[in-house]
Amino acid sequence: MDVGASAYRVLLVGEVLKGASRGLFDGVVLAPAGTVCEFSAALEHVRRLHPDVVVVDLSGPDALKAIERVMAERPVPVVALHPGVLSGADAFQALAVGAVEVVERPAEPGVDFWQAVSRKLMLLAEVRVTRPVQAQKPRHLRPSATDAPYPLLAIASSLGGPKALAVVLRMLPKNFPAPVCICQHISNGFTEGLAQWLGSETPLRVVEANDGDEMVPGNVYIARSGTHLVVRPKGRLVLDPSPPVRGFRPSCDVLLTSAAEAFGTRTLGVILTGMGRDGARGLKEIRERGGRTIAQDRATCAVYGMPKEAVRIGAAEEVLPLEQIAPTLVQWVETC
């Protein structure tokens, strides 16, 4: 195991992770080496050891409580290992209480799995996280003055995005007069579970987008794994199997740019927490075509990458804390 100058301190939470302390991590150091704590002791270990990243196994009954306590009092990047297919409610609840990433853990994880996890940990060790934002109750809107065309809300998000999306969507009222399209960078096969979880967190109807869908105001459409989500005029959605754009499929830039082209001045664009630059160009396209745009601010982002790029290129009309994004959208959509 390489424990040189680039190594990071990692705390493992959960008895099932004991095997991972036996030299299976590459390039990271446990805090201190070999420490695997119980869920009930997680917060105390974080206070005392100041790890760069915490790994929590979700198979324990108190795993979610441990993540919630750590994020409430000593925020640190948390990677949750989910024992099985990434569709269980606890996987999404882990994101809701503050984990920045959920990884499917095989029944018998081998060296290759742990080395892949170690590379992810080295990346996340550089991430600054904040305490989870609590959503406020939405206010009711006046009925939309026009039936069609309607406004469109397009949202881009990546690392830390599911939690941020839940906060924004919870604060939008059931009679929100615009459909919502979302491109979230997430593991393949995870979007169905994401749609189900977000649907339980918001008054809006949330579904995976289907090819040929005619959008309905108040509904949320999630871009499916492995295909670009494209908006066409008159509110029709297309699933485009074209190659990845700058490494991403679905691509946030593809969604936001198509929204700008199809809905013009009636487009509302939002870019939330995430690593990299995907979505910034699409957000700028919305603004240049007369739409209104928001980037999440640095203080409330899990990762200030995508929003930072949007701000840098002048794509964001407003840079707002997470809890202010939905109220602003509610105001804008009334005159959009």
> Residues 48-76: pLDDT tens digits?
888 889 999 988 888 999 999 998 888 88
Q: Is 185 a catalytic residue?
A: yes
d(C-alpha 168, C-alpha 171), whole Å? 5
Alpha carbon separation from 11 to 1, 44, 121, 271, 285 (Å, rounded): 16, 11, 11, 31, 43
Given the candidates 3.20.20.80, 3.40.50.180, 1.10.10.10, 3.30.70.3040, the CATH classification of the domain at 152-333 is: 3.40.50.180
pLDDT digits (tens, 9 = 90+) for 289-308: 999 999 999 999 999 999 99
The fold of the 9-124 domain, in CATH, is Rossmann fold (3.40.50)
- Which among 35, 2, 29, 31 has a CA at the least distance from the CA of 17? 35
Q: Where are the domains of the chain?
A: 9-124, 152-333
Tokens of 154: 């397009």
How many helices and strands (H and E) does the chain possess?
A: 10, 15
Q: Which of 157, 158, 251, 258 is catalytic?
A: 158
| 88 pLDDT tier (thresholds 50, 70, 90) | low
Tokens of 34: 């070999």
User: In sequence order, what are the beta bridge partners of 245?
Assistant: 248
| 4 pLDDT tier (thresholds 50, 70, 90) | very low
Do 9-124 and 152-333 come out as alike in CATH topology? yes
Q: DSSP alpha helices (H): ranges in the chain? A: 42-49, 63-73, 89-96, 111-124, 161-170, 191-201, 252-263, 280-288, 306-312, 322-333
Tokens of 285: 């396209």
| 87 pLDDT tier (thresholds 50, 70, 90) | low
> If you average pLDDT over residues 182-195, what whole number do you get?
91
Q: Is 118 a catalytic residue?
A: no
**Prior bond to 149 cis, omega within 30?**
yes
Q: What percent of the chain has pLDDT over 90?
A: 59
> If you average pLDDT over residues 276-283, what whole number do you get?
96
* Whether 16 contacts 59, CB under 8 Å: yes
Q: What is the pLDDT of residue 173?
A: 96
SS3 50: coil
pLDDT digits (tens, 9 = 90+) for 143-172: 333 333 699 999 999 999 999 999 999 999
Which has more pLDDT, 29 or 221?
Answer: 221
Q: Which of 45, 82, 185, 228 is catalytic?
A: 185
Q: What is the pLDDT of residue 34?
A: 61
| 1 pLDDT tier (thresholds 50, 70, 90) | very low
User: In sequence order, what are the beta bridge partners of 9?
Assistant: 29
Crossing angle for the helix pair 191-201 and 161-170, nearest 10 degrees? 30
Report whether pLDDT(182) > 90. Answer: yes
pTM over the 0.85 mark: no
Tokens of 182: 């979302």
Q: Is 59 a catalytic residue?
A: no
SS3 323: helix
* Whether 167 contacts 200, CB under 8 Å: no
Q: What is the pLDDT of residue 82?
A: 87
| 272 pLDDT tier (thresholds 50, 70, 90) | very high
Q: Which of 52, 253, 278, 297 is catalytic?
A: 278
Q: What is the pLDDT of residue 134?
A: 58
Neighbours of 16 (CB within 10 A): 17
| 142 pLDDT tier (thresholds 50, 70, 90) | very low
Q: What is the pLDDT of residue 144?
A: 33
Looking at every residue in the chain, the average pLDDT score rounds to: 87
Q: What is the pLDDT of residue 143?
A: 37
